[in-house]
């Protein structure tokens, strides 16, 4: 059972455009993390959001945790080809210890 639904699954945009990736669930999470994965590599953590309503910025990336801690979004401003990759959201349930539940991912392609 996939607890986290990510959308869109695929996104192809041109350099300079803005985009938003969504991660939704009916479950409440202790925290939600966003990872980025390059081809042939393992995922690498971008950010962790913990508090409902929290907003974190990482250069051109803005992450938001929903007020009810059931959803999150990743917004990229002025996308660059270097942003190309697979973006994964992952949530920690209060009763699952340290085991992350991953969404299926959003594959982003940014062309020059």
Residues that bind another protein (CB under 8 A): 1-2, 6, 30-31, 33, 35, 40-45, 48, 50, 88, 90, 92, 97-105
Diameter over CA atoms, the chain? 44
Quote the least distance from Cβ 15 to another protein, whole Å. Answer: 26
Residue with Cβ nearer another protein (41 or 67) = 41
Among residues 97, 91, 43, which one has the least CA distance to residue 71? 91
Q: Smallest distance from the beta carbon of 39 to another protein, in angstroms? A: 10
Report the C-alpha gap between 44 and 58 in whole angstroms.
14
Comparing CB distances to another protein, the nearer of 105 and 112 is 105
CA distance 36 to 107: 10
CB of 96 to another protein, least distance (A): 9
Could you give the CA distance from residue 77 to residue 97 in angstroms, rounded to a whole number? 34
Which residue, 16 or 52, has its beta carbon nearer to another protein?
A: 52
Distances in Å between the Cα of 28 and the Cα atoms of 17, 33, 87, 90, 105 are 32, 13, 21, 12, 19
Nearest to another protein of 45, 78 (CB atom): 45
Residue 93 C-beta: closest distance to another protein, Å: 10
């Amino acid at each position: 059972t996939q607890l986290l639904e990510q959308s869109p699954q695929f996104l192809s945009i041109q350099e300079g455009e803005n985009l938003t990736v969504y991660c939704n669930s009916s479950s409440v999470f202790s925290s939600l993390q966003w990872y980025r994965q390059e081809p042939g590599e393992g995922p690498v953590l971008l950010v962790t959001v913990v508090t409902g309503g929290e907003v974190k910025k990482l250069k051109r990336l803005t992450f938001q945790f929903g007020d009810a801690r059931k959803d999150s979004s990743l917004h990229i401003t002025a996308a660059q080809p270097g942003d190309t990759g697979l973006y994964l959201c992952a949530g920690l349930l209060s009763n699952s210890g340290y085991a992350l539940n991953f969404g299926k991912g959003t594959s982003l392609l940014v062309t020059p």
